[in-house]
Amino acid sequence: MSDVISGLKRDFDISFKDVHLLNEAFTHGTYLHENLHDKGRDYQRLEFLGDSVMQLMVADFLYRDFSNWNEGQLTEARISMVQSKSFSHFARLAHFDEYILLSKSSKKQKLNDNDNLLEDIFESFIAALYIDQGIPAVRKFLDKTLFKAFNEGYFNQFVNYKSKLQELVQQVGKVEIKYVVTNQDSINEEEPYYEVDVLINGIKNGSGSGRSIKEAEKIAAQNAYKELSDL
């Protein structure tokens, strides 16, 4: 318990008033089955609440910070943010995998590295923080983690920009989209490099580079989509 208390204080300047609530957020059912003297509860009730809190917080963040986005853009961004891969990633960054109370057998099975469990623990922590300190504290924590990463482009990896570009340009009728490799350096197998242009009806609308043709095409599509959607 002391690890999570000191870790949250060190990493996020968070100090819980109700440490029993914090303990509940990181307690797995197998731990309670093995430690019958512990009369506490596991994280699941908090996870139920945390799911709804996260939906609200992400929607509020997008609505307030991206006032020029339409409903479709807001919905797509929310879907990319509120998912298992997202929550488990940030749970690891916050060292939540190190704080989970598990049975000895679950520890040996490395259950604390399970994406689904880490997603649940992230949500249970959010709920505990919400109950203990309210919406402002949750927003402050998310500003340092999830929302910071969004502003830095972390969630672009979950968006299929090639499909989005195709949908966008086909609104005006039938068009031809081609991805052309304009430069490549595949001599160094450890660090290959490719540059790709995306042509729409023969006209260059974006370019991208990456360590594979697929990655370069995706970045080219992303750049073209952003340029055309701003017109």
Q: Say whether 42 is catalytic.
A: no
Q: Say whether 123 is catalytic.
A: yes
Instruction: Name the β-bridge partners of 210.
Output: 194
**Beta strands across the sheet bearing 177-185:** 177-185, 193-200, 203-210
Catalytic pick from 97, 120, 123, 197? Answer: 123
DSSP class per residue in 129-195: HHHHH-HHHHHHHHHHTHHHHHHTTGGGGGS-HHHHHHHHHGGGS---EEEEEEEEE-SSTTS-EEE
Q: What are phi and psi of 199, to 5 degrees?
A: -110, 130
Catalytic pick from 24, 42, 51, 97? Answer: 51
**Six-digit token string for 191:** 């660090």
Instruction: Name the β-bridge partners of 181.
Output: 196
CA nearest to 27, candidates 99, 133, 104: 99
Alpha carbon of 202 to those of 134, 167, 177, 182: distances in Å? 54, 18, 8, 14
CA nearest to 217, candidates 186, 175, 181: 181
| Contact of 61 with 147, CB cutoff 8 Å | yes
Q: What are phi and psi of 137, to 5 degrees?
A: -70, -40
**Six-digit token string for 61:** 């963040």
Q: How far apart are CA 57 and CA 78, in angstroms?
A: 10
Residues designated as active site: 51, 123
